[in-house]
Amino acid sequence: MSLGLAILTLVYFPYDIDRPLDGAEIEKTREYYAEAYKKEPAAPEAPASEFETRYIEVATRAAKDFDIDGQVRSFAEKFELQGKRVLDIGSGRGYLQDIVDDYTGLDISSNVGRFYHKKFVLGSATAMPFEDNTFDGAWSIWVQEHVPNPEQFLREARRVVKNNGVIFLLTAWRCSPWASRGYAVREYRALGLTGKMIKASIPIVSKTRDVSLVPIRWIREVAAAFAPTTLHYQRLTPNYDVYWEPDSDAINSIDEHEALLWFTSRGDECLNCDTPAGSVFMYRGPLIIRVHK
């Protein structure tokens, strides 16, 4: 490895990991949302804030551009999930609730319940209020990047899905650290000197991040060969005031290969990977995982 590549690997290596949650913390979170659900009245139709309006606008356009409905329908059809119990983790307004009959939506927001005509459960993705092995399948679309404990998210998803069940996981992989300030989409004239310099450097920084992926993935594959891996990621500073672009409010950046290794190092199987262990050259897209407990 050249000195330059070694430096890039050190700079971009994902050092952040979860602080493990103990059983008491998880149970406390479940109890909180269970109690909130009991007390929550039917939410009135309230005017959306500027942030919410922009968020819905951008998210709706992105869902259409990426054909999320079509991708999830294909997943459900291929793995014969009609007539089986399916969980939508971080279900938002439930726009995917009609893909299968036996659907449960889980979301942390109490304000979205009014959009459901199928089962909706108020709760956290890191402390789901379900028994082990409850669902035959699950999907989660652009949620994990917003979860403070993304490895606990994976633990819970795997826990509530049955042995041989399937998970469709589409995280917004490798969110950029500059999305929260909108440097990629804002005009130069709207930025100060520092902002202009950051915006001008984005193509170079993006390229160097991509170059660093392969050696980092090789290192992580070696680690996964010996024991179940700990999920490594990079924490981000979200912007909850202005939604400049998709992932402006992301709080972590996760490489899809890292998430893949988390599953496969536990004996699970990737059903849409080029090789059984995936590939150090894989590039975004969903992970389709079959759980083997």
pLDDT one-digit tens code per residue, 101-126 = 999 999 998 888 889 999 999 999 99
pLDDT recorded at residue 88: 98
Instruction: Enter the tokens of residue 235.
Output: 């924490």
Q: Quick count: other Cβ atoms within 10 Å of Cβ 167?
A: 26
Give pLDDT tens digits for 76-98.
999 999 999 999 999 998 999 99
Q: Quick count: other Cβ atoms within 10 Å of Cβ 189?
A: 6
Residues 17, 225: Cα–Cα separation, whole Å: 19
Which CATH number fits the domain that encloses residue 221? Answer: 3.40.50.150
Instruction: Enter the tokens of residue 76.
Output: 């459900």
Residues 100, 119: Cα–Cα separation, whole Å: 12
**Contact 144/150 with Cβ under 8 angstroms?**
yes
Q: What is the 3-state secondary structure (H, E, C) of 22-86?
A: CHHHHHHHHHHHHHHHHHCCCCCCCCCCHHHHHHHHHHHHHHHHCCHHHHHHHHHHHCCCCCCCE
Residues 93, 117: Cα–Cα separation, whole Å: 11
Residues 6+ apart with CB under 8 A from 111: 43, 46
Q: How confident is the model at residue 168 (pLDDT cuts 50, 70, 90)?
A: very high
**Contact 85/102 with Cβ under 8 angstroms?**
yes
Give the lowest-confidence range in 8-12, 60-64, 98-102, 122-126.
60-64
Q: How confident is the model at residue 53 (pLDDT cuts 50, 70, 90)?
A: low
Domains of the chain: total? 1
**Contact 243/58 with Cβ under 8 angstroms?**
yes
Residue range of the domain that includes 233 = 3-290
